[in-house]
Each structure stands twice: as structure tokens, then as C-alpha cells.
A and B are shown apart, each in its own frame.
Chain A
């Protein structure tokens, strides 16, 4: 069991990378880089927590227990929501079970080893968020030294209830026929859950004066503390943090008992419903059956576009990343609505935009806004990874394209058309929604459609060309091919440079007070030229297919 745990930690947390000679420099650099990247946000969170306690103390508000419990409950929810994707990935997306099952381990031992790794990860997540609050609570003298051992036990037990609930939920849902095995269900479900959690935790922080702030903290913390009760059994750990001596000790003892119960329940559910179905061979029986479909004849291009679309849409990781900036739109919409409601209408960007576009001064500058909105919409498309990772996601399967009797440029065009069809659908949908809030006339919207499509076109053609030049063909799963791909970053950089060139041209036209026809024509001409250049580059880059070794 000890060796099983050790292997799980080395593999699950990729600790090996930090020590293996060939990998350690890169791994350490990545770790330090990530830490440096996250430090400002984390320091911000810590400062906020310390200031919140300071605010309560300076204003004599007896809400410190409420604040601490609120932070604790928030940490539990972070663990709960972060736990779902982690558990899903560890249990259902790893391929090591075939190596573990033949070994002399009980099912519960395998489940325990896998969940132990997640426990440690979630422990670190929970501590990162909650420890600053707890330390400040002790430092300000809100708790005696007597509470310290009780708090330490609580800290160790903290992830157990939410993690057990995540794991049990994950395992139960995965056993629901037709839903549990759908990767789309998990991707969408996890995304919605994370958005919901983040909105729940971040809303309501816009009070203006200290009185309102105090009311808000009180109400918000009560709400979060109540939410904490939604994790059955977690309340014992919460009471143990703020109760008097013996009551705290008793609550912590109850917390230990509840945690042990959760661990046993999780191991039992995991053995029966995670390992059990695999041992019974349910997955093979559940093989997704699709209607065989008639042997229809298509031209290569049509067939290739169809193949690309099927492969993209059936792979949630590729498809979700392919959505690019469009995925941010619903988030922006929800955030804007919340801001508008909470500011009681003071935040009204759309109203201000409407007023600005209808002002007399703006009448002569309208073309700039039309062009600007078209290019802005195209930027959403440029954030899609459909193009700059298109060859990469084929990986070792690129032998198929290489061995087919087709010109490399046909493959390039097939990939371009498939991705372009998806992004066009999203762009048109976005424009349809934009028509509801931006007061342009029909001819302006027509122009927006044309220009944004051209701009998306050159972005796409260039991104695809970059990937054709140097595809990343060695990866473990398509997420790696799409997310950890420099080509995507490189293509985005060029997209922004292109948008920058457009901005420069618009600035020059603005300065010379160019008339509307010239503005519209110049933007079209510039982007058509970029499209022609990108396609020419694409034709040349696509020829590299013959030289790529698979």
C-alpha cells in the first residue's frame, strides 16, 4: 500500500518532474514561473483578509467569528468545486487502472491511493485560502492558545467532507447511463459549476461606506455560514473553530467522527461503483453504438471538412478551447448584469454607448465604431485554438493525411473550412446578440459581418499556417495538444499585431478626418490584403506536410 501511495503521489502530482535530471530544470522553472504569476492575486487575497479583520477591530464590530466561519465555508466550497474536476480527471481520465487492477490490491486501496493524492492537493488549496484568515484571527487575539491544537486538527480534516462529497457525486453521476460517460456533460457541468461558484463568492462586494460594508459583511458571512451547513457534517468543524474550550473540543471530536464516516463511505462507494463496474466489464458492454450510416460518396474536401467537424465536436476539450473568446461572452453578460443591478443602474455601459452613438459629435465618427466593433468581434474568433492547433491535434494520426492521394494544400483548406464554419456560426450568433444592444443600422451590421468574417479569415489562415509549419504531434491527450501549444500563443500574438495594424490605420484616418467611404474602404482593403497574405503563407506552409515525420 505504501508503494502504491508513493507511485500515486509521484505520478498524480508529477513530483518526479522536479527531481528527474532531464526534466527538473524545466519543471522548477515552470513551478517558479507559475508561483510568480499567481503571487500578486494571492497576496491580494491575503491583504483583503487581514484588512477585513482590521476593519472589524478598528470599528469595534463583533463579527470576527462570522468572518472566520465565512472564510472557512468559502474554502470548503472551493475544495468542493475544485474537487469535482480533479476527482473526475483522476478517476475517469487516467489510463493507469489497467496497470493497477492486476496488482494484489483491494479496490478500496486503489480508490484510497487515488483520493489521497487529491486530498493533499485540496488541502493545499484550502490552506492557501483559509490559513491567512486563521493566522490573523489568532494574531488579533480572538482565540486563545488553547484553541491552537483544535484548530490544527480542523485544518487537517478540512478537505475531507467537501472532497468526499465531490468524489461520491462524481462516481454516482458517472454511473448514470447516457450521461455519466459523456465528456460533454462533464465539461459543461464543471464549467457551469465553476462559474456559479465564482459568482457566488465574488458578488456583493461593492458597498461604498463603512456602515454599508459592515451590514454587507454581516449578511454575506451569515449567508456563507449557512451555506456551510449545506455540506452535511461540516458544521462541526466550523463550530470547533469559534466555540469555547470544551465545546470546541467536543465539536472537533464530532468532526473527526464525521470525517472518518465520510472516508469510509467514499471508499465503499468507490469500491462498488468505480472499481466494481470496471471489474464487471460494464464499459465494454456500454460501447457507444452509433447508427452505421450509409456509405455516402463525397468529394475529398467535403469529406475532410465533415471528418474535422466530427472529430472536433466529439472531443469536448478541443471544442471548448476552439470556442476561444466566445466562451467569455456569457460571463461578460452575467457580470455586466450583476454590476448593473448592484450599482442600481449606475453602471450602464450599453446606455452610455447608445447615447454616445446618437450624439451629434459622433455622427461623423460612426464608421470608426462600426469598423472597431467588427474587429473587436473578430478578436473573439482569433482567440480560438481551432486553427493554430489543428495539425497538432491530429498527432500520430497525421500519417493518414500524409498517405492520402491529395495535395497538402487540400488538407490545409479542409481544416480551414471546418474551423471557419464553426467560428462563423459563433460570430454570427454574437452579432445577432449584439444587434439587440448596439443601435447600428442594417447596412452597418452587414458591414460588420463582412469585415469581421474577413478578419477571422486571415486570423484563421495564419494560425493554421503556423501549425502546419511546426505542429506539436507528440502528446498524451488532445488537451495537451491544444492548451500546451506555443503555436496557439504565436498565432494570437500575430492576430493582435494585425488588429494593431488596423488600429494604427484607423488612427491615421481619424487624424486626417477621413470621410466614411474612405474609412470603410480602407479597413476592407487592409483586411483583404492580410487575408491574401495569410492564404499565400498557408499555401506555402501546407507543403511542409510532406516533410513532417510522423
Chain B
């Protein structure tokens, strides 16, 4: 469960996130959408403890991220919006390093890495240096590393960018499966069709403010409106 209570974060004069409050419940996939520069990434970085909010609080699985960052991070899988990783390491070296940081025992990590690598078709590439990976492969290695410790809360910043259709399908399946097992998935995306089909609830952020939040049915103003039309309506308002 992720609880965001009135967080505000400014960069100089610009208020990137403005008094954001929302809950993401156990067992649901929450889609976070908004135009470029709306504050999605800032909000996500605050949720995972990479940024300190100017005010407000974030609790993940009941742990205050600012007060107990290490304990909170142990329960989070985070995928950033750009897969910048150590290019000189091999894929498996990077995943192992992350697994060490999360204290994942060997008997858990070996099958977990094998399963994720198989699912994302990365098994043969794990021994290659990351420098030689394509953008999509880097995204996949970041995903494997993020999910290796199998935490309750997944916080994914545009995780589908760069993935091939098969990997994208596999990841969406994993997200559904994770949420159905009583866990939390919070992700941002620009692909509204994906959000529409995958998410239990959606939050729309515009200029740092949450302008709408709820299930698709709750957001609909007309019976035939799509998430795209709802989104465009909210953004243009």
C-alpha cells in the first residue's frame, strides 16, 4: 500500500508537485498519467525516497519513507524513466549487485533471475556487458534488477518504453499477477490504451496537481468516453 499525504516539491520557483494526496491500495494497479513536465517523475522519485518533499509525507507498506528510508526501500521495486545503469558491468553482475543490496538469498535469487530473464528473453544476454545492450535490453535489465527481490510495492516510471511487444505483454502480465496477489503496482505511462485496459484506478496529474483520480467508470462523464478523451478534456481544462 502506498499513502501519499499532501506532498509538495518545488524546484526554485517552479512547483513540480503541488499538495498531492492519494492512496494506492493493496491488490490494485494504479496508473499515473499526465502530460510531459506535469510532475509524474518528481512524484515517483518522492515516493521511492529519492527526493525529499518540501512538505507532506509518503508511507509505503505502512513505513514512512522519509523517517525510515531504508526499511521503506526494502519494500519497493523502482524502475526509473531512463535506464541509466553501469555500462561496464555485465547484466548478471548488475542484477547480482542489486540483489546483494536487497539481501536476496542465493536460493531465492537464482530461480527468480532465471524466471525473469526467461520471461523478458534476456537469458542469453545476461553475460554481455551492458554497454552492448540496446535501449530495450537496458530497460529489461533494470526491470529484472528491480523485481529480483519481489517486494510488495512496485513503483515503475514508464516501464513499457523501449520494450518489444512480447516483453511488454509479459510485464503487463506480471503486474496483473502481482496486484492480484494482494500487492501494489503504481506506474506512470503515456500509453493511455494500456492504462485503460490494465489499471484498476487512474490518477491524472497536471502542473503538479492531481486533477482526477478514480476508476475509469468514476472518471467518465459520458457513457462512451475513453480514457483518452477524459485525459484530453482534463488537460485542456
Contact = CB atoms under 8 A, between A and B. Distances in A.
Given A292-B126, A295-B92, A295-B106, 5 more contacts: A293-B90, A297-B104, A303-B100, A311-B86, A399-B50
Contacts of B97: 303-304, 306-307
A298 B106 CA distance: 9
B89 interface: yes
B73 A403 contact: yes
B71 to A, nearest CB: 7
A295 B127 contact: no
The 5 lowest CB-CB distance pairs between A and B, nearest first, are A303-B100, A405-B73, A314-B88, A292-B127, A396-B84
B98 A404 contact: yes
A178 interface: no
Nearest to A300: B101
Interface stretch (B24-32, B74-82, B228-236): B74-82
A305 to B, nearest CB: 11
Contact of B128 (A287, A297, A303, A399): A287
A280 interface: no
A41 B230 CA distance: 70
B113 interface: yes
A397 B86 contact: yes
A550 to B, nearest CB: 7
A341 interface: no
B100 A310 contact: no
Contacts of B71: 405
A119 B82 CA distance: 38
A287 B70 CA distance: 37
Nearest to A293: B92
Contacts of B102: 404-405
A204 interface: no
A448 B150 CA distance: 50
Contacts of A315: 88
B84 A292 contact: no
A296 interface: yes
A311 B89 contact: yes
B116 to A, nearest CB: 12
Interface of A: 284, 287-293, 295-300, 302-304, 306-307, 310-311, 314-315, 395-397, 399-400, 402-407, 546-547, 549-550
A403 B127 contact: no
A304 B95 CA distance: 12
A399 B129 CA distance: 20
B115 to A, nearest CB: 12
6 contacts: A288-B131, A290-B128, A297-B109, A300-B101, A304-B100, A549-B51
B93 interface: yes
Given A287-B132, A293-B93, A400-B85, A406 B101 contact: yes
A402 B70 contact: no
Contacts of B69: 405, 546
Interface string B3-20: 000000000000000000
Nearest to B114: A295
Contacts of A547: 52
Nearest to B88: A314
Given A296-B96, A298-B100, A307-B86, A289 B109 contact: no
Contact of A300 (B89, B93, B100, B132): B100
Nearest to B148: A295
A404 B84 CA distance: 15
Contacts of B74: 405
B101 A295 contact: no
Given A315-B88, A396-B82, A397-B84, A297 B126 contact: no
Which one of B48, B74, B82, B93 has the highest number of Cβ atoms from chain A below 10 Å of its Cβ? B93
A289 B113 contact: no
Nearest to A403: B78
Contacts of B106: 295-297
Contacts of A407: 70
Given A292-B126, A400-B85, A307 B93 contact: yes
A299 B89 CA distance: 18
B236 to A, nearest CB: 30
Nearest to A313: B88
Contact of A299 (B80, B100, B131): B100
Interface string B89-125: 1101101111111111110011001000000000000
A300 to B, nearest CB: 5
A404 B146 CA distance: 10
Given A297-B106, A315-B88, A396-B82, A403 B49 contact: yes
